[in-house]
């Protein structure tokens, strides 16, 4: 196990009706003028946005609204949000929605107190300072409610990149599993896939003797394997929704990733798919992960065999990858590039953007360092 520092100060407020506590929590964390940032659609139709606004009004908190966040959130709305924050003297940002709304909120929070272009943070500059962010989570998936990470798509060039820093870790996150019960099965399945991806990305490590975190990851993967099909079959299964929501948060606070190197190549490879095709991130990961795993399996076959036995109940590395792939298909996820709208002739563009876009040097590194040729073969394996 490697040396590490773990700091996870987010206050999690979990359970039914907890969205009504948003105003009290913002005031407790020193907020007085709030930007409520959200997508639209179900947040508005369900009455959630009205309940959240009522909780702020009950605490005499001023607020302005900025809706319009899309899946794979865009840089244009971030710039709009930064301008809105500065013009209105905002001192707290509340994200209402899933990972896209939260990631966009984090980008606005960081960019609002930075003199340069917020995109600098998505080119590797660490985020040390930001306005405080709180969240009301509506989708169990990205884990952004408990992480110091954010992913944004830059519209100029359509580069999808991540930023990190303790400055954007949420001050509080409200987690009411009931809010996920109205999700369509496809979105639920995409969330399940994303959660499992966050676990696998940490499991694929070159660090030795990390049994504690191995076992934590395996337990959460088993939870997803058991609870996922229950919510696909019965969207109103509160207990299964609750287990999935908390698993999604635990998967990305990095409590499962301390003391070990991590991978993230599957995420990097998928980001080009959702940037180019605007597909759901989870759907892209369902196609990407089996292709990546099969390609890099020989690097440490024993590690793949271990998760195969402990989680999927099969004997070999290859059987474990296939069991995972079959599980994803069983919950309604795609398995080929074509199902995402992709074409073989797009592969050179995908590889160029992945390996060289926005300042990269021709490789991506993680569990295994991959070059252009490797990435080309992986994309072709998705066909």
Q: Is residue 341 part of a domain?
A: yes
Give yes or no: residues 158 and 203 share one domain. Answer: no
Each residue of 277-323: pLDDT tens digit? 999 999 999 999 999 999 999 999 999 999 999 999 999 999 999 99
Share of the chain above pLDDT 70, in %: 100
- How high is the pLDDT of residue 358? 77
Cα–Cα distance for residue pair 149/198, rounded to 1 Å: 12
The pTM of this model reads: 0.95
Domain with 130 in it: what CATH number? Answer: 3.40.50.1970
Give the Cα separation of 142 and 69 in Å (integer).
15
Tell me which residue of 176, 158, 11 sits closest to 70, measured CA to CA: 158
Rounded Cα gap, residues 127 and 160, in angstroms: 17
267 is a domain residue: yes
Residue 41 lies in a domain: yes
Q: Mean of the per-residue pLDDT values for the chain?
A: 97
**Is the separation of the CB atoms in 360 and 162 below 8 Å?**
no
3-class secondary-structure state, position 343: coil
* pLDDT grade for 335, boundaries at 50, 70 and 90: very high
- Residue for token digits 């966050």? 198
Is the same domain home to 213 and 170? no
Q: Are residues 194 and 268 in the same domain?
A: yes
Q: How many domains does the chain have?
A: 2
- The answer as to whether 105 is a domain residue is yes
The CATH number for 249's domain is: 1.20.1090.10
Cα separation, 339 vs 297, whole angstroms: 24
Residue 1 lies in a domain: no
Q: Is residue 2 part of a domain?
A: no
Q: Look at residues 154, 179, 204 and tell me which one is the last residue of a structural domain.
A: 179
Same domain for 138 and 251? no
Q: How confident is the model at residue 357 (pLDDT cuts 50, 70, 90)?
A: confident
Structural domain of 65: 11-179
Report whether 317 contacts 308 (CB < 8 A).
Answer: yes
Residues 193 and 166 in one domain: no
Please identify, among 179, 208, 241, the residue that sits at the C-terminal boundary of a domain.
179
Same domain, 243 and 363: yes
Beta-carbon contacts of 218 under 8 Å, excluding residues fewer than 6 positions away, are 203, 307, 310, 311
**In this model, does residue 136 exceed pLDDT 90?**
yes
Question: Would 287 be classed as within a structural domain?
Answer: yes
| CA trace torsion 291, 320, 278, 83 (10° rounding) | -110
The verdict on 175 and 205 lying in the same domain is no
- Is it the case that residue 70 has pLDDT exceeding 90? yes
Rounded alpha-carbon distances, angstroms, from residue 243 to 88, 98, 140, 248, 327: 39, 17, 10, 9, 18
Cβ–Cβ under 8 Å, residues 213 and 260: yes
Rounded Cα distance, 122 and 103, in Å: 12
Q: Using one digit for the tens of pLDDT, what is the confidence trace for 109-124?
A: 999 999 999 999 999 9
Q: Residues 81-90: pLDDT tens digits?
A: 999 999 999 9
- Do 170 and 222 reside in the same domain of the chain? no
For residue 291, give the 3-state DSSP assignment.
helix
Asked whether residue 244 falls in the same domain as residue 174, the answer is no
Residue 339 lies in a domain: yes
Looking at the fold, whether 73 and 202 belong to one and the same domain comes out as no
Where among 179, 205, 238 does a domain terminate?
179
pLDDT in tens, 162-205: 999 999 999 999 999 999 999 999 999 999 999 999 999 999 99
Q: Are residues 23 and 127 in the same domain?
A: yes
Q: Are residues 158 and 202 in the same domain?
A: no
């Amino acid at each position: 196990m490697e040396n590490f520092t773990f700091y996870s100060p987010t206050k999690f407020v979990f359970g039914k009706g907890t969205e009504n506590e948003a105003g009290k929590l913002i005031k407790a964390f020193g907020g007085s003028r709030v930007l409520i940032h959200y997508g639209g659609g179900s947040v508005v139709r369900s009455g959630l946005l009205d309940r959240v606004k009522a909780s702020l009004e009950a605490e005499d908190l001023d607020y302005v609204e900025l809706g319009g966040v899309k899946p794979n959130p865009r840089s244009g709305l971030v710039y709009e949000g930064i301008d809105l924050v500065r013009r209105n003297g905002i001192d707290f940002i509340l994200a209402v929605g899933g990972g896209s709304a939260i990631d966009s909120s984090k980008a606005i929070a960081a960019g609002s107190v930075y003199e340069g272009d917020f995109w600098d943070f998505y080119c590797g500059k660490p985020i040390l300072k930001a306005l405080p962010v709180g969240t009301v989570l509506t989708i169990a998936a990205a884990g952004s409610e408990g992480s110091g990470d954010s992913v944004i798509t830059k519209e100029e060039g359509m580069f999808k990149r991540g930023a990190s820093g303790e400055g954007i870790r949420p001050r509080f996150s409200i987690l009411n599993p009931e809010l996920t019960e109205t999700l369509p099965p496809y979105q639920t399945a995409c969330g399940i896939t994303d959660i499992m991806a966050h676990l696998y990305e940490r499991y694929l490590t070159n660090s030795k003797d990390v049994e504690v975190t191995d076992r934590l990851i395996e337990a959460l993967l088993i939870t997803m394997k058991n609870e996922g099909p229950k919510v696909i079959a019965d969207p109103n299964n509160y207990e299964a929704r609750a287990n999935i929501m908390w698993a999604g948060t635990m998967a990305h606070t990095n409590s499962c990733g301390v003391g070990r190197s991590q991978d993230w190549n599957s995420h990097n490879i998928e980001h080009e798919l959702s940037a180019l095709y605007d597909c759901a991130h989870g759907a892209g990961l369902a196609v990407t992960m089996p292709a990546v795993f099969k390609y890099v399996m020989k690097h440490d076959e024993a590690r793949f065999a271990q998760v195969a036995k402990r989680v999927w109940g099969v004997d070999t590395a290859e059987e474990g990858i296939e069991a995972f792939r079959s599980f994803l298909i069983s919950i309604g996820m795609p398995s080929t590039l074509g199902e995402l709208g992709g074409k073989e002739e797009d592969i050179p563009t995908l590889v160029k953007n992945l390996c060289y876009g926005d300042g990269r040097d021709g490789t991506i590194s993680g569990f295994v360092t991959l070059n252009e040729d490797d990435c080309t073969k992986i994309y072709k394996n998705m066909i």
